[in-house]
Structure 1
Amino acid sequence: KRKRKKRPPGNYRCDFNGCEKVFSRAEHLARHKLNHNPTVIYNCPWENCLKSFVRKDLLERHVKRHEIRSHPIHNPTTNPQDPENSNNAASPSNLISWLFDENQADMGHLDTGPNFSGGNFFNPNDDPFGLSSNLLDDILQIPPNFPNPAQQTLITPEIRQILINLVPAIANHEYFNHLETFLDLYWTCFHVQYPILHKPSFNTFTCHPILLLSMIMTGASYAKCEPNNFFKNDKNPREFADLIADPLRLIIFSCEEFHPPSQVYIIQSLLLLECYERFATNRKLHERAFLHHGTTIQLLRRSPGLGGNPLKNKTEYNRRHNATIWEKWIEFESVKRAALFAFYIDSTHSMVFGYQLMLFSNHIQLNLPCDDDLWESYLTPKEIPNRNDSMPFLVGLKKILNREHVNTGIFGKKILLAGLLSIMFQMQQRDLQGSILEFEQLRDTWKDTLSLAFDYWNCDIMKSCCNSESSYLLKNESLKTLRPFSLSQSDTRCKLPVYHMAQITLRIQHYDYYIFAGAPWRMNVQAEASDYELVGKKVREWANSPNGRVSVVYAYLFLFEMFLTPQDSVDQLNLPYDSDSDAVLNRLNVLALVTLLTWSYNFVLKGPESTPLSGSTELVSTKNLYSIEDGYNYLRRVRNDLSRLTGRMLHTLKPIDSVTFHNTVLQYAFHLESVENKHFMTGLLGMISTRFEECYWEVGNEFSRLIENCRRRSFGSDKVRCDDMY
């Protein structure tokens, strides 16, 4: 077992004679003192129970434990033999009551509970005017003086010169004349997924040049997605983006305003840069993003823009200063969205790259983003029909755990998913530390609660992760000609791959199948022979478990969504995939991980597909070796067999409610072993490896070599370690 890190002694010492306990927080000491001098004694009312408590909330908790034990709870995830009954799954109330309990039990000097109620750097009062408030309606009732939409992308000679002064290398590049197109692509590709900037008020004349460079860099990374093939020549526009990205972090760090309290454009620029560094460029910048992620988080923690009311009181409001008040509200909402996007990045990137979280759900005590129509509109709020009010993030998160509907926008739905991910990581950490919750029942059921919550989010909130309308802001038709197919309503592929990864990560650690596939190191830590042996045992145990089969079903479903049209669509087609033209953040990385996971499951159970490379320990090419079936036929066969065995379809255009969906997943998992020849994967591995080999992203090239290593092993090679991965 890992040793628990000892908390340093606190400042609050119990003064009761003979008691030597010390606490780090005053409220913990106050609660502890009740044990010495109780004001009221609460006795348990249950028959034959003699326990008593000094606090009423502890008695209520204790009584709940009696109630739980008296009503056994079905465990749908670990018992797929009865998949029809997941409707009776563990009640989420137990997990919720612990996570959101404001009065944690006296845990001594170890503050192991999440304590969602206090000490957070995002204060609940930071959102002083929810959209239901009369104040905001008063402020926004007069039309704002927004600039002409053309100024959202206009680059004048003066602006060009300012940008050249910051990054001289871009002046001589052949794509320097396409700055306006790159800004168009930012709004078309990135903004529709993550609307952290206020487009109606955006003006290149007033935008800080550092933020403008970040947007141009981001837009250039999407240039290969542009459907008119304008950038299909030999030079990849990401080379131009790299010219900006390489010095941009130093430019930001050297800026006079790079200090707490930070301006919002600094935070926004760092977030855009981090996304580019992680998913679009070379290994050097990819590593740099990890190193400096904490800097962005610290700037947010120390930003007074997240505390206090930008409108001191209503008496300051004056109609003559209407524009200024609009600007204050826009800035406030922009800061909030930047903070929420930082939280989203932290949660989702932690999952797909396997590093430790820096932000937790209890840190985010802000409202969800405002209504999409209000954020995107040039109209006054009174002219926007059916405008929704935003609710506190933690209220929305609690509703999702309770499987209750949450009315929020596209960005808000993604933030709620990040909240579920954060809770998952917190619970896994406490599970590893052996300090999870006070009652064993929750130890066994929290994964079921979260698994159902993820499916509820996917099916009942998003109406499927393949649904474009609930994933992107597609109402604006002005830039439709630049919109890539991957962001169109016609595309049936998964738009939010982190959902599938969430269901997988709930059941197996990223490290295990990554090393099992042959990765020589992870996070710069070399894998030894003993590591490969250990993960081999863990992967075998996982593959033989019900939870292992459930996670593989979610992996297969993602592969079906990526390469095949839905089962109920008119045309049964194979979907081509080009990595450089994929505009969906995270998707390429998740495709690699899901492929490795699926291969690990099948290889550890069934071994190689064939053995032409038996006895080989060299890096032999597999291009001329025969695959029993190609990737598309393999996926279609597995999908058809699962549907035939269960009598149900899971990959459909028609939305499925979360209970039916979850039950179907459990049935698929139960019958997965009956699908024959699932280890005939060399055709699929070759197809996916080629896709990664062609991409500009250097980490993608590394994945190509690792997947090719898996392919060699499926052809019988005895070499486990992929020495040429990096």
Structure 2
Amino acid sequence: MHASITGMIETQVPIHAKARDHRLDKEDDQQDHNAGHPDGDAPGSSRKLSGKDLDKKFECPHEGCGKSYSRAEHLHRHQLNHNPKQIYHCDFPDCHRSFVRQDLCARHKERHTARGSQLLRKHTLTPVVTTAMARKKGSPMKSMTRTPTSHDQENQSDNGTSGQTPMNGVKATLQLNTRMNGVSDAMLDHTPSCPILMFGGESYNRSPFAMADDFAAWLFNDSSFGPGASPMGYPSGSGVTSGAGASYQIGLQAPHFQYDLSGVGLYTTPAPPSHPMAVNSILETTLSGSVLSEDKRKDLLDLIIGRFNETDYAPVKIQKEEILKGNKEDDRHILSLHMMQAYISSYWVHFHPQLPIMHRPTFKSSTCPDLLLLAIMCLGASCLEKRYRYERTQACAALGDFLAWHLRWEIFMDADFRPPAKLWIFQALLLLEVFEKMYSTRPLHERAHIHHATTLTLMRRGSSLIGRSALDSPPSIKDGKGGINGAHGSTTSPDEWWTHWITNEATRRATFAAFVMDSIHATMFGHRVAIAAYEMRLPLPCDEALWSATSSAEVGGIESSLHSNGVKQTTFLEGLKKTLDGQTVRTNSFGRIILMAGLLNVSWHMNQRDLQLSSLGVSQTLTGREKWQNSITRAFEHWRQDFNTSLSWSSENSNSNGSNGMDDYIVESRTVLHHLAHMTMHVDIVDCQIYAGATRLLGRLITTQDYNGACRRMKEQWAPTARARDATFYALRFLSKVISDEHSHSTGKEYSARDDLLLDRPWALYLATIIVWSYGYALDGPLKVPYQLSNHEDKMKDMVGYLNRVGGVPNPDDLAKVTDRNACVGMLLLMRDMFKKTRWELLHEASNLLTKCVEMLIPGAGSTM
């Protein structure tokens, strides 16, 4: 049985599907009958007719009808049922409804793609920032109520009524109700509900393999589903049509606080710079949000001194003694107020642009939970610029390792670490996982892989990530705040709405971050993925201008602008399918990284499916595998082109002078992911490392049998094929791009993995190096004419010459004609020496493995050069 990762809010079934559909059909008929009534004039409304109105009877002359109306226009609309001018048919698969009015037909079709959206819109608050929207004078908000269900009541006690810690740990008490001044009726009619990430599709009992097959068929346009059909309720390829396509549901509806999805999520406005500094600038410790009070610092020190104790692990104890000694009030001490502020600033400048899950405008160190703040400091301490010099950065990296070693257990012991977990718990776990995997030691790296599943399980088990507010629960009649008509006495301020909006968006971003890490890390390290792409039923992240807005009024202005320009929401699945179909996806840079993670995820699952079939002896045509591989490969190229177009547009329309740090990270991350995707698409990276002599991978020892099997596969099944040439071609291009591009030569600067603050690039360079060596060694063997490279200049010259000669071929197939493909000693030595100086222990291991590669090319040379 699959559970649901809501990534947002409580999941419930408001009405049984069949009963709901029957009621909606009746409502369409009723609206067909009463269509055209202005607000308040529909039958059953509270509007009183005057005596003059009552005297007028407009009876339907159709034989046997007998209906009468008080207004002639109402009778005219009714008569369309008897003598329609045109019949409008629903074109949704297996639906045969027809209508005499186009607006009713459109509304009916909307319900197919947005399960319950129209009905729920009438009973659920849909907030829009009121300061940006023109108000209708004399048009008061209608009362809106939602009928409580048994599931509501069951989960109400689950969540309780205690205060929550939304966004970045900033506590806020929300007394929200189902009414908001200034929200126009027109906006209510065009606001779809938001989809949730759901595991198990429409049935918890359905086989996950069947769902995966359905998803693959839909994703790759399998003709067995017919034109316009979509299995399991996935959206059709046409995208959002009625402004509600982003809200399709599969039998479950999220009772979360809704907002105007038709006006957010697609990037038509350039994001303002997140900070005024370039990547290599000196950090300012006075950045908003990074200012750490002395009282908060004391709380953190008390936590470290009093609770970060480990008697059974001597190295940690030694670290603690080393870390705490000295005058902590000295600005040069790694636990001084000055340095702790620098860690927080470093996080926002160097790490946040790469994984923007925290809401920077409202972040305050003073109110952030201690454990989350320490997780931020771990990353910031490991991302310090080289101006802090070698000894200082080494000490700060050791501080990060020490904090992380204890931090996970402290989070596990926190009262909020239980379903439904608070948002800050997920943020802390995700940031800690990134640090453990990509910045720390081998033991912490392995621990992060193990507890990655813990984080996902907590998401799945928790029915809510942000608790329950008044908006998420039905009003209580006993409280006197609502009744049958749902008339509430209080109103919601824009700032209260904004706080709730931030919490919802931050929760979705946390869920996407878990997915991105799951897919990309599986690609980089060769382990299994834990989430399938078809499970991610969420809208892509909101517009970056909205996310970086500093007030509810600013959000309102941006949201109003997006809405007036017709910008509509794109879901992850829609964006993924559009990318595979070569269509433009309008989203932000984080959204594009999410889409690439989706492509990598689909590639992994399709490859696993083929492996399962072959292991069972099921015959399959080669064209089937080639078809999906070619589709995904083309999608990689389209993703890059779409990304480039978006960046060019943003640059042309940006008001900022020059690029900022976020722009630099975005451009470079695009290059890394594009090449990484192509490389790993065509090679088993685990086999590559075993072939190079790795003794332990994925937490287990490599046996002689493992080694012999990997050698056979690499030499016989991989190296002679087009797959090997494709992987090597992109690996060479990536190495040339990063290591020996013209910019580096013109500036006299050399790339340094130690000072590279881009999250995935150093490891991607290591993978590229291993792939190039594997290809050359598998085909050409050891060097027939060994040579010595005695100094750095000789190594650099040898590497540049190799990359120009072998990596300069215009097409992958041209590699088959190149000689001396194994003459890459200079490249291996330079990469080995560079990785040895980094702060990350896994790159030290990579350095040792590259020494073995040199030994295999030139026996005995690994230790002498």
TM-score of the superposed pair, with normalisation by structure 1: 0.70
1:301: how far off?
1.2
1:684: how far off?
0.7
Residue equivalent to 2:159: none
The question of whether the paired residues in 2 share the 8 Å contact of 1:152 and 1:199 is answered with yes
1:317: how far off?
10
CA RMSD of aligned residues (A): 4.3
Which of 158, 162, 168 matches 2:295?
A: 158
1:440: how far off?
7.2
Residue equivalent to 2:723: 547
Code of the residue aligned with 1:417 in structure 2: it is M
Q: Secondary structure at the match of 1:260?
A: coil
Residue equivalent to 2:775: 601
1:410: how far off?
1.3
* Offset from partner CA, 1:52-100 (integer Å, 9 cap, x none): xxxx99xxxxxxxxxxxxxxxxxxxxxxxxxxxxxxxxx9987244899
Shifted more, 334-343 versus 321-330: the winner is 321-330
Residue equivalent to 2:150: none
> For residues 349 and 406 of structure 2, what CA distance do their matches in structure 1 show?
25
The question of whether the paired residues in 2 share the 8 Å contact of 1:127 and 1:367 is answered with no
Relative distance call for 1:633 and 1:389 in structure 2 (3 A) is farther
**Residues 1:517 and 2:692 aligned together:** yes
Residue equivalent to 1:578: 752
Shifted more, 675-684 versus 693-702: the winner is 675-684
Residue equivalent to 1:237: 396
Shifted more, 122-131 versus 281-290: the winner is 122-131
> For residues 489 and 531 of structure 2, what CA distance do their matches in structure 1 show?
35
**Residues 1:328 and 2:504 aligned together:** no
**Residues 1:685 and 2:828 aligned together:** yes
Residue equivalent to 1:109: none
Residue equivalent to 1:497: 672
**Residues 1:452 and 2:624 aligned together:** no
**Residues 1:400 and 2:579 aligned together:** yes
> For residues 224 and 764 of structure 2, what CA distance do their matches in structure 1 show?
29
Relative distance call for 1:308 and 1:413 in structure 2 (3 A) is farther
**Residues 1:301 and 2:475 aligned together:** no
Relative distance call for 1:491 and 1:684 in structure 2 (3 A) is farther
Q: Secondary structure at the match of 1:391?
A: coil
1:504: how far off?
2.0
Residue equivalent to 2:708: 533
1:171: how far off?
5.2
Structure 2: segments with no counterpart, 5+ residues: 3-16, 18-92, 95-215, 234-246, 265-284, 306-319, 475-485
Residue equivalent to 2:600: 421
> For residues 341 and 437 of structure 1, what CA distance do their matches in structure 2 show?
38
Relative distance call for 1:179 and 1:104 in structure 2 (3 A) is closer
1:446: how far off?
0.3
**Residues 1:639 and 2:797 aligned together:** no
Relative distance call for 1:262 and 1:505 in structure 2 (3 A) is same
Code of the residue aligned with 1:221 in structure 2: it is S
Q: Secondary structure at the match of 2:493?
A: helix
> For residues 183 and 670 of structure 1, what CA distance do their matches in structure 2 show?
48
Q: Secondary structure at the match of 2:367?
A: coil
> For residues 696 and 186 of structure 1, what CA distance do their matches in structure 2 show?
16
1:571: how far off?
6.5
Pairwise mapping of residues 254-273 of structure 1 onto structure 2 (< 5 A)? 254-273=413-432
Residue equivalent to 1:49: none
Residue equivalent to 2:733: 557
> For residues 99 and 159 of structure 1, what CA distance do their matches in structure 2 show?
61
The question of whether the paired residues in 2 share the 8 Å contact of 1:403 and 1:456 is answered with yes
Q: Secondary structure at the match of 1:559?
A: helix
> For residues 347 and 777 of structure 2, what CA distance do their matches in structure 1 show?
42
Residue equivalent to 1:188: 349
> For residues 247 and 549 of structure 1, what CA distance do their matches in structure 2 show?
45
1:629: how far off?
6.1
Number of residue-to-residue matches in the alignment = 570
Residue equivalent to 1:713: 856
> For residues 586 and 234 of structure 1, what CA distance do their matches in structure 2 show?
19
* Offset from partner CA, 1:435-480 (integer Å, 9 cap, x none): 899987533310000011011111222459xx79989xx9999997
Shifted more, 156-165 versus 680-689: the winner is 156-165
Which of 351, 369, 373 matches 1:208?
A: 369
> For residues 505 and 465 of structure 2, what CA distance do their matches in structure 1 show?
10
1:126: how far off?
5.9
Code of the residue aligned with 2:441 in structure 1: it is N
Code of the residue aligned with 1:424 in structure 2: it is S
Q: Secondary structure at the match of 2:694?
A: coil
* Offset from partner CA, 1:406-457 (integer Å, 9 cap, x none): 1101111111111111111110111011189998753331000001101111
> For residues 681 and 461 of structure 1, what CA distance do their matches in structure 2 show?
33
Residue equivalent to 1:142: none
Which of 530, 543, 557 matches 1:358?
A: 530
> For residues 323 and 356 of structure 1, what CA distance do their matches in structure 2 show?
43
**Residues 1:630 and 2:795 aligned together:** yes
Residue equivalent to 1:246: 405
1:488: how far off?
6.6
> For residues 599 and 449 of structure 1, what CA distance do their matches in structure 2 show?
28
Which of 319, 329, 349 matches 2:521?
A: 349
1:103: how far off?
3.9
1:318: how far off?
6.2
The question of whether the paired residues in 2 share the 8 Å contact of 1:563 and 1:575 is answered with no
TM-score of the superposed pair, with normalisation by structure 2: 0.59
Residue equivalent to 2:72: none
Pairwise mapping of residues 22-421 of structure 1 onto structure 2 (< 5 A)? 95-97=220-222, 102-103=230-231, 128-132=258-262, 151-168=288-305, 169=320, 172=325, 174-177=333-336, 178-223=339-384, 225=385, 228-229=387-388, 233=392, 235-305=394-464, 311-312=471-472, 321-379=493-551, 380-384=554-558, 387=562, 389-421=568-600
1:338: how far off?
0.3
> For residues 641 and 378 of structure 2, what CA distance do their matches in structure 1 show?
35
The question of whether the paired residues in 2 share the 8 Å contact of 1:420 and 1:450 is answered with yes
Structure 1: segments with no counterpart, 5+ residues: 1-6, 9-26, 28-55, 58-90, 106-116, 135-147, 614-621, 647-667
The question of whether the paired residues in 1 share the 8 Å contact of 2:613 and 2:619 is answered with no
The question of whether the paired residues in 2 share the 8 Å contact of 1:370 and 1:389 is answered with no
- For the pair shown, the structure with the greater C-alpha radius of gyration is 2
Code of the residue aligned with 2:689 in structure 1: it is Y
The question of whether the paired residues in 2 share the 8 Å contact of 1:122 and 1:363 is answered with no
> For residues 599 and 335 of structure 2, what CA distance do their matches in structure 1 show?
42
The question of whether the paired residues in 1 share the 8 Å contact of 2:799 and 2:824 is answered with yes
> For residues 132 and 315 of structure 1, what CA distance do their matches in structure 2 show?
27
Q: Secondary structure at the match of 2:359?
A: coil
1:510: how far off?
1.7
Code of the residue aligned with 2:415 in structure 1: it is E
1:497: how far off?
2.1
Code of the residue aligned with 1:588 in structure 2: it is P
> For residues 491 and 307 of structure 1, what CA distance do their matches in structure 2 show?
29
The question of whether the paired residues in 1 share the 8 Å contact of 2:806 and 2:821 is answered with no
